[in-house]
Amino acid sequence: MDVDVVEAPAAAGARGPARPTALVSPFSPAVLSLRGPVGEVETELGVLSPFGEAMAGIDEADLEAGAYEVLRAELEDEDFLESLEALGAEVAGRHLASSSAYGQHSEALALGESEATQWMESVAAQADRLLGSLETQFQDRPAGALTEAEIDAAVGFLPSDSELAAGPLAAQELFLGKLVSKVKKVVKGVGTLVKKGVRAVGKLLPLGKLFGILKKLVRPLLQRVLKKAIGTLPASLRPAATRLAAKFGGAAARPTPAPAAADAPTDGGTPSPDASPADAPSTDAPEGERPWSSETLVDEFDAAIAEAVLAPNESVAAELVSEFEAESAGVAAGGGPVAALDAARETLARQLVAADPRETPLAEMEQFVPVVMAAMKLIKLGVKVIGRPRVVAFVAKLLATLVQPMIGAQAAQLLSRPVADVGLRLLGLEAEGAADGSLGAEALVATVEDTVREVLSQPAAASANELLLEALVQEAFTEAATRHLPAEVLRAGLVEAEATPEGERGIWVPLPRQTRPHYRYRKLSVVEPVVVTRASARSVTFTNGETLEDRLLEAGARAWPVTAEVHQYELLPGGSLGHLAAFELEGDPESYADAAQEFEQLAASRPLPVRHPAHRPAGGPRVYRVRVRGLRMRRRRPFSARLDLTATKPVLRLHLHVSERNAHLLVGHLEKREHVQVVALVRGLVGPAMRQALTVRLRHMLARHAVTVPEGGAKRLADALADAVGKGVAEQLSTSAAALTTAAKDPAPGVTLTFAFTFAGRPALASGTAPEPVLSIRAGEHRG
């Protein structure tokens, strides 16, 4: 193999000749020769009681500490998390779509933000009115004397779980419905604490005061959702338990459970793009910090409610609420790392076009690398960035050497033409920017960005040896170049294996083009056609426990195989499924939140029945959409789980949501007394895909409640629960057949089978075995 040996430029201020380094350029010698001579080249969530010893007597300390845990357990709510994610997708789509109407105007994002803020303000106003009416109507009502039916009557009509399952709802309707459910949980939790004799909650009685507290907390929560969606939240935060430990004298916190699954990217703060590596702050994550995920927003909101409820007096409660409001207002200041990265990409692209190819663009790289670092946590959750100035400076120097052969106007134009042809043409987009070289420069900037992200997320030990670090940069840069640059400008042998049978090889194109330079995702330029057999559809599983077969059948597929297209994407910092919903679907969707359900995150453990790029995703989470003409596939939650720790013995309720299509099948089997087919159908609902999703759910649920399980314990428990479901239906079908038939014939869509497992104690949850369940049957979809 031919090796181009170049010398890395000496660091600023260094004396003597530079140490030679064998960096191999990925660019074709033929392309380099077209440029002519360029001169000599140098080359786990801590859940803890907020009370210190001074705030409780010795006899009450354990009671109050347990109260915090009981209240947090009561507040846990998958549906509320889902509603926040829907709000986030909706406002993200609205923000970027509004911004695109202003073209490449310098204030386009700010103008779009104004419209998104107005929409979120309307949601906040509705929430204010709802909670305000409860505060007024029940201002003198004691805890334990308010029923859920009274709350429903006071707020008026809100969608039920069955109505939510029947079809798409506006994101604000979904949120308001789940907010009322959250209110019910708070009231129930406070009533439980009163019965247990926890005196601290007395300050919020009667209940009017409690509703007043909730009203003050909801608006800051919505402000965080808004700022996360438009990209202006800090990259990470100290969790509530860590802050409380510092505030109240610091009891030991329990480990933080990892998020069950990565969601839409979060947002954060950044150093100035003009800062040098030496001035850039270290981006190593301080102990206990968490990324701003939707789950984090809910955890912080629940923690704020629990803190206020259990604070020793009204004054402390008001202080905690004010603190939550101030934190939400504080995260709104500044443009955040997403805006900084947008600007840095555009600046570097211009600089590379205007650069003198006889000089390495070292200063430009030194400015760009810290900006990429600041946004890394937004798409690589939990990553610990190698941020030491020496390492950053060294990586910047190597990158400057690698890109030098392709800088300058002539080189940019050489790159732009094939990028426009292979990238934009295959997506049916206009070949903009080919003449001025901007497309080629953008592709080169994307290559540098992915290289920085890959190298600086390696273990810290990788930076200790310069030779190893050089190798990492070399490998990452070559990998990134194959992602963003056409084969004709790369060395022979780098990309042939990735070409499709038709000879087309895709590259990743930054989108949406309408909002340039504010890119939020990339799309692979090759859209892959695929013939999906029923067997292959059954093998494709989703994180919520569904399979592709389930979704196709529920969407109306009746004949196999199904002809489909697979569209593949990567989210960039600040990107969300709402952005894809706004720009990647046919027509104008009525709800971006609902349209976002057509996209799924790709995981290595859940492969697709199609060829997809062998190279690792460097931009961010890999997302795909399976499109079948004439069918609208919609995400559906096949199960929900709830752990109740308020009773003497823990009760885990597993709600199995039987779809309307399967409910009709059940009726047919029951009318023919085909009980074997009924049991087989239910067992099919708790197959491998559902068990995999249930394992993730249990792992997070048990960690949240400080139930320590051995390695593999969550999976063993999930399998035991699923097996018990099949056994329970088989044993109880003779006595439950009539109830199941009635529920399946009910007009409400679908049926809910609830299996209640009562464990002997908390340690029994970690045993990996399941007790005999009690089965209850209800028409429609129910999650609690």
| Per-residue model confidence as pLDDT tens digits over 143-158 | 778 888 888 888 876 6
User: Looking up tokens 């909002």, which residue turns up?
Assistant: 515
Beta bridge partners of 653: 642, 756
Lowest mean pLDDT among 8-12, 430-434, 540-544, 609-613: 8-12
Highest mean pLDDT among 59-73, 278-292, 581-595: 581-595
Q: Is the pLDDT of residue 236 over 70?
A: no
Q: Is the pLDDT of residue 362 over 90?
A: yes
pTM: 0.82
Report the distance separating Cα 166 and Cα 85, nearest Å.
19
312, 313, 316, 318: CA torsion to nearest 10: 140
DSSP element (H, E) containing 534: helix 534-539
Beta bridge partners of 562: 532
CB 386 within 8 A of CB 456: yes
Give percent helix, percent strand, percent coil of the chain, each to the nearest 5: 55, 10, 35
Q: What is the pLDDT of residues 722-751, one digit of tens each?
A: 999 999 999 999 899 999 999 999 998 899
pLDDT at 75: 87
Number of residues assigned to the chain:
784
CB 261 within 8 A of CB 67: no
Average model confidence (pLDDT) across the chain: 80
Q: Which pLDDT band holds residue 194 (cuts at 50, 70, 90)?
A: confident
- The mean per-residue pLDDT over the stretch 326-350 comes to 81
pLDDT at 119: 94
Beta bridge partners of 566: 528, 626
Interior angle at CA 329, CA 325 and CA 331, nearest 5: 120
pLDDT at 205: 67
Q: Is the pLDDT of residue 263 over 90?
A: no
| CA 779 to chain centroid | 32
Highest mean pLDDT among 60-64, 71-75, 216-220, 461-465: 216-220
Report the distance separating Cα 498 and Cα 482, nearest Å.
10
Q: What is the pLDDT of residues 764-784, one digit of tens each?
A: 999 999 999 999 999 998 887
Q: Which pLDDT band holds residue 3 (cuts at 50, 70, 90)?
A: very low
CB 370 within 8 A of CB 277: yes
pLDDT at 257: 45
Q: Is the pLDDT of residue 41 over 80?
A: no
Residue 167 CB-density burial (10 A; 0-12 exposed, 13-18 middle, 19+ buried): exposed
Phi, psi (deg, nearest 5) at residue 192 = -65, -40
Q: What is the pLDDT of residues 562-603, one digit of tens each?
A: 999 999 999 999 999 999 999 999 888 888 999 999 998 876
Residue 302 CB-density burial (10 A; 0-12 exposed, 13-18 middle, 19+ buried): buried
Q: What is the pLDDT of residues 622-655, one digit of tens each?
A: 899 999 999 988 888 899 999 988 778 999 999 9
Of 767, 784, 765, the residue nearest 776 (C-alpha): 784
Q: What is the pLDDT of residues 424-458, one digit of tens each?
A: 766 666 555 555 678 899 999 999 999 999 998 88
